Amino acid sequence: MTDQPALRRDAVSMTGATVIGMSFIAPAAGMAFLPQVVASQAGAAVPLVYLLAVAGSMCLAYTIAQFTRWAPSAGSFYTFNSLGLGPAAGFVSGWLLLLGYLGGFPQNMLAFGSSLSAVLAKQAGVAVPWWVFTAAGTVLIAAIAIGGLGLSVRVDLTMLAIEVLVIAVLAVVIVTAGGAHGNTAEVFTPSAGGGQAGGLLFALVFAFNTMVGFESVATVSEETRDARRTIPRAVIGSVLLTGVFFVFVTYAVTIGFGADNARALADDPLPLDTLANRYLGRGYSVLIDLTVIFSAFAVAVAAGNGLTRVIYAMARDRALPSALGRLHSRRRTPHVAVAAVAVLALVLALGLGLAFGPYPRAYSYLGAFTGLPVLILYVLVAVSLGSYVWRRRRAEFRPVKHVVVPAAGAILAGLAVYGSYHPLPEGPFLWINFGFLGYLCVGIALAAVLRRRRPELMRDMRKVVAE
């Protein structure tokens, strides 16, 4: 569909692909900024909520892995749902994925800028506005992205190894000490959440939001060695490794404050910092702070790469302006898409951060707005897999593999979507939810217009994804 050179082949190994998925999930940043938000809705049942999110993510990772064996593509959900549900559904999926990934970039740059500014002021007495670090970090990430996927992987691998080690040490110390009031299995029961199903389901949105990113491995399929074998393993591996880590750390964090003291966790903007001070001393809390800061930077690197690959794939198929599908002549990276994403991310980060404060309000708003589209994509891809295999690979169809497992993941993701709207949240989250519905309706309308006015585009999309 294009005369431009392809993305650089064999730029990423299986280890590199797994690192991309885990870095997007962001072990340290996820544990620093989201358990307290989950606790505000689910009380002390934070580990239970994460266990459900991980179980659903494993089922969905298995679903995505099936697709990547047959159709490794930078388009990810855009490609998968075009194959299983048709080009119009594929376009809407790309539309949703753009929103989901676009929010992850500025969200984590807000965390990066605000945390680095706060740590410098607290530890060194140096006052630098958060937006300076956010802007500089965004420009640096764009330069790394243009430099090539190999460079991004090396940056992410270094930061990932450090953040997992630092957070794991803290969690082991807390569990070994028995936390505030001893180890307990109570935090894995619904009663720990106060018996409010609505709160648990709404909390599931944020827990899933912590897991969002494992599917980004699929966006580098065209740049990965032996993608049909490597990508499925990397998708499942990134969920399994980070999932075990998240359940263990959220358990440690919850008992660290005490199962009967969930409100203190919910009200603490930096719970890992608090726990590090309590259990390992002030020096370790500084190390935690630095780890979290650079974890946020690493996830922004991964989010930017995932988003630009989706934009590139859609532009290559002419579902987006073709200029966004241009590749750098030497690096063979989608440099136009990178520049566009950096500008949009910077506008969102600075606009929302200056209006509401970078953290926790602007950070949480972006998380709620961008978590919903990915949850809906999880549901769609589960339906799409069964449809695709039944219609095009009937001899390979297996009910458990292609219907039951995807359905289990879809149900858990669907419950999180349901919990976002019932009962209706109050304040800004209400407007965010309705704003998302407006965005979804625009995407559906665009797909309908393209299908009617540019049927050749839909035919071309069907041809490309089937190749």
Output helix, strand, coil percentages for the chain, rounded to the nearest 5: 80, 0, 15
Residue 131 has pLDDT above 70, yes or no: yes
**Average of per-residue pLDDT across 193-205:** 73
Residue 105 has pLDDT above 60, yes or no: yes
- Is 26 in contact with 252 (CB distance < 8 Å)? no
pTM of the model: 0.82
Number of neighbours of residue 154 by Cβ within 10 angstroms? 14
Burial of 77 (0-12, 13-18, 19+ CB in 10 A): buried
pLDDT at 280: 95
- Is 275 in contact with 256 (CB distance < 8 Å)? yes
pLDDT at 77: 87
Residue 205 has pLDDT above 90, yes or no: no
Q: Structural domain boundaries of the chain?
A: 14-466
Reported as a single tens digit per residue, the pLDDT across 444-460 is 999 998 888 877 766 66
CATH number among 3.30.2010.10, 3.20.20.210, 1.20.1740.10, 3.30.60.50, domain 14-466 = 1.20.1740.10
**Average of per-residue pLDDT across 231-259:** 94
pLDDT at 198: 63
Reported as a single tens digit per residue, the pLDDT across 287-337 is 998 898 888 888 888 888 888 988 888 888 788 888 998 988 888 888 999
Is the previous residue joined to 406 through a cis bond, with omega within 30 degrees of 0? no
**Average of per-residue pLDDT across 177-199:** 84
pLDDT at 462: 53
pLDDT at 117: 94
Residue 1 has pLDDT above 50, yes or no: no
Portion of the chain with pLDDT greater than 70, in percent: 95
- 113 closest CA partner among 444, 423, 346, 410: 346
Residue 45 has pLDDT above 60, yes or no: yes
pLDDT at 467: 43
Q: Which residue has the higher pLDDT, 207 or 460?
A: 207
pLDDT at 128: 96
pLDDT at 457: 67
- 413 pLDDT band (50/70/90 cuts)? confident
**Average of per-residue pLDDT across 156-180:** 92
- 226 pLDDT band (50/70/90 cuts)? confident
pLDDT at 461: 58
**Average of per-residue pLDDT across 34-41:** 89
Reported as a single tens digit per residue, the pLDDT across 422-442 is 778 778 888 888 999 999 999
Residue 2 has pLDDT above 60, yes or no: no
pLDDT at 466: 45
Lowest mean pLDDT, pick from 152-156, 280-284, 389-393: 152-156
Give the span between the Cα atoms of 284 and 295, in whole angstroms. 16
Both structure tokens of 136:
């500089």
Portion of the chain with pLDDT greater than 90, in percent: 45
- Is 60 in contact with 406 (CB distance < 8 Å)? yes
Q: Which residue has the higher pLDDT, 90 or 318?
A: 90
pLDDT at 422: 77
